[in-house]
């Protein structure tokens, strides 16, 4: 049951990231004005939004491919989680240094912090499910 839940969650996260990335690439202006709070982070920059859109495509692909290819799961989900967690931590940093008010964390929780937390849980689960232990060979690779 846990495995099915984790895989389903990874699929959902992957599809959401792909959809977000495609929206950013296909219509950066509409994305910029559609996502709450984005307009307060700086002026519209089509190149920057499309760069980030590509990252979301890679993140979404990593979760979907990792779901289908268990031997690649730890690496793909961990890499995607590192970016999502770094992105969330950057939002916390902006509040800590006064760029944004604390209300930005509440506003951004569902789109930034929650996916980062979910991705971290999925990456940790993929490590434990594979039996990978630091300094030890996993049962799958032995």
Q: Tell me what the mean pLDDT of segment 72-90 comes to.
A: 98
Question: How do residues 59-73 score in pLDDT, each as one tens digit?
Answer: 999 999 999 999 999
Contacts with 69 (C-beta within 8 Å, 6 or more apart), sequence order: 76
How would residue 130 be classed by pLDDT, with cut points 50, 70 and 90?
confident
Sign of the torsion angle spanned by Cα atoms 32, 38, 43, 48: negative
In angstroms, the CA 65 to CA 13 distance is 12
Position of tokens 């890679």? Answer: 58
How would residue 142 be classed by pLDDT, with cut points 50, 70 and 90?
very low
- Give residue 136's pLDDT: 58
- Give the global pTM: 0.88
Residue 140 pLDDT more than 80?
no
């Amino acid at each position: 049951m846990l495995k099915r839940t984790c895989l389903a969650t990874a699929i959902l996260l992957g599809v959401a990231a792909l959809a977000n990335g495609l929206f950013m690439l296909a219509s950066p202006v509409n994305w910029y004005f559609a996502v709450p709070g984005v307009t307060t982070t700086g002026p519209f920059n089509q190149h920057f939004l499309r760069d980030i859109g590509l990252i979301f495509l890679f993140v979404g692909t990593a979760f979907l491919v990792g779901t289908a290819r268990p031997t690649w799961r730890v690496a793909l989900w961990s890499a995607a989680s590192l970016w999502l967690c770094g992105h969330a931590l950057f939002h916390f940093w902006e509040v800590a240094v006064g760029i944004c008010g604390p209300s930005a964390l509440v506003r951004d929780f569902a789109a930034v912090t929650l996916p980062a937390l979910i991705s971290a849980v999925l990456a940790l689960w993929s490590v434990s499910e594979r039996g990978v232990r630091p300094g030890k060979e996993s049962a799958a690779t032995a």
